[in-house]
A and B are shown apart, each in its own frame.
Chain A
């Protein structure tokens, strides 16, 4: 009996993935199926769901409401995409130099720097975002500091209201997702064999050309991984926009949240979340097909 178990590689493998499989089916597959079913339903008067088959929720998202054309939801979707795109690009531009610096630091110091990158993650996410409210609001740290310097230099200073706004949401997103870009880029930079930089120099490439011909292409697996780790959560998040955007910045995540909690329209919320899911999936698939997951380089 035990002998047979030892020889049965398939059974061993199945037992190894079993706990995860149970969790995934119970908490991902079944809820997902329920969401799909709900999205084709209708709401009843007191916020319950009538299970039927209608495309009404999807038509409404696309702008065709019973009351006529309304592009409110399309604009929310576009705004979410635009914000996710901005966040990702800014995060890449900020993370790359830092990851490069860490990867080229003496080996003993690298872990310390990575530790510093990870420190903010020890504080609760919501608290960190609230901290930005304290910094950005009218009488916040930013304005009072600037005001103090202006006073010292005898310059006129008008405190500006940066919170709540879409800009504040962007700052919050960049702050939140920076570590998730730094780590994968660092990992691929760190894997580049130092000899390759020397080989490029040996073949007459100056440091700038070495950077663009060797360093950047070889760090692409990290950039791709970091982009997925940033873009996908940003497009679906609602906490950052909720806290830093006040009620002004509505993203797809906020829409879904509102439909379930305030508007009490689970079928419409489900449809919105399914659309978000399909959108994210399509973009991720396109992106990884286009740029690869980097396995070709990583695994050779």
Chain B
């Protein structure tokens, strides 16, 4: 791994709660973010991702642990002395200043000379394609434009790390999709490390080099998009990223990285055991299989074949979704791609079918 831009080492954050109790927002989080990386903190609201970001920015100080920026421990360094800049969810543009004054603010505080400020503000506005907007007030701009100004105001300072707190959250869907690609492109151009907080798994998958999935103050899994999607290490990650099926069962036999699991209801299957998971025979486990990795088309050379009954069929154009109840009562969904006209006719409601999937598609999870 290249030089580290940001490191969180065993960071905890506790807040006093409204009733005098202690609320732990972040528990023992350790993260290593490489220089030049586009890194996402992904999780539902209240998972500690924003608090983690705010501790990098210096708006909050860790209760325990240490934040490093390019190897330097930040300790109690206040926000205004940290070499990072933030793009806020609400943009936080100064309403009493013009766009030009907003973008120049950081450089003025750093006492950069006037000519240089003017040149860099011009460049920054050009970079976000809003050249010529210097004299306007923030309120005269649309949400998308304000968002880009917030970006320019942060990037004009050439921070060591750019922190983005759900920066696209307030935009409508179409604009958000555009900005996702634009942000990604911009990050490649400027080469600055981006740390990005989002609750939108699709956004995280689209934009990030790596993703840390958080829940209840803990980082559950860190990896690139396909690792997180294809190799979830726990039930929460599998569930939070994309759609998936869960089936409960008991381990009958372990063979290297595979396990034979007997499902509730008696049918058995073979599933892959992820590296982080350790199981022994007799243990209750959850099996996860993505719906698009299950098939209704018969094939003899698959080990995992389960029988079930079709309960509903939803045709959505590219795919058809089949709802099934397996013998034994567990409900699953199967997604078949409609690459030929016959795809629609794989099964009828109420019909008994065989669902097959590979050993690698099924994963054993313990929590």
Contacts and interface: CB of A to CB of B under 8 A. Distances in A.
Nearest to B90: A195
Interface string B153-176: 110010000000000000000000
Given A193-B92, A217-B96, A218-B96, A202 B80 contact: yes
Given A195-B90, A198-B92, A297-B95, A203 B85 contact: yes
B78 interface: yes
B190 interface: no
A276 B109 CA distance: 46
Contact of B79 (A195, A202, A217, A297): A202
Contact of B59 (A198, A203, A206, A214): A198
A200 B101 CA distance: 12
A196 B80 contact: no
Given A203-B157, A204-B109, A300-B139, A196 B79 contact: no
Contacts of B84: 202
A11 B92 CA distance: 43
B18 to A, nearest CB: 9
Interface in A245-265: none
B270 interface: no
A209 interface: yes
Nearest to B82: A202
B80 A204 contact: yes
Contacts of B58: 201
B96 A205 contact: no
7 contacts: A193-B90, A198-B57, A199-B94, A202-B57, A203-B106, A204-B80, A214-B94
Given A297-B95, A300-B95, A201 B139 contact: no
Interface string A266-300: 00000000000000000000000000000001001
Interface string B81-121: 10011101010111110000000011001100000000000
A209 B95 contact: no
A257 B238 CA distance: 83
B94 A201 contact: no
Contact of A201 (B59, B95, B96, B157): B59
Contacts of A196: 92, 94
B153 A203 contact: yes
Contacts of B93: 199
| Size category of the binding interface on chain B | 20 to 34
Nearest to B106: A203
A230 B95 CA distance: 27
B78 A201 contact: yes
- Closest 5 CB pairs between A and B? A203-B106, A300-B139, A195-B92, A199-B92, A204-B109
Contact of B86 (A202, A218, A297): A202
Nearest to B85: A202
A179 B88 CA distance: 35
Interface in B108-159: 109-110, 139, 153-154, 157
Contacts of B90: 193, 195
Contacts of B154: 202
Given A201-B78, A204-B80, A297-B96, 16 more contacts: A193-B92, A195-B88, A195-B92, A199-B88, A201-B79, A201-B80, A202-B57, A202-B79, A202-B154, A204-B109, A204-B157, A205-B80, A205-B105, A206-B80, A217-B96, A300-B139
Contacts of A201: 58-59, 78-80
Contacts of A204: 80-81, 106, 109-110, 157
B105 A198 contact: no
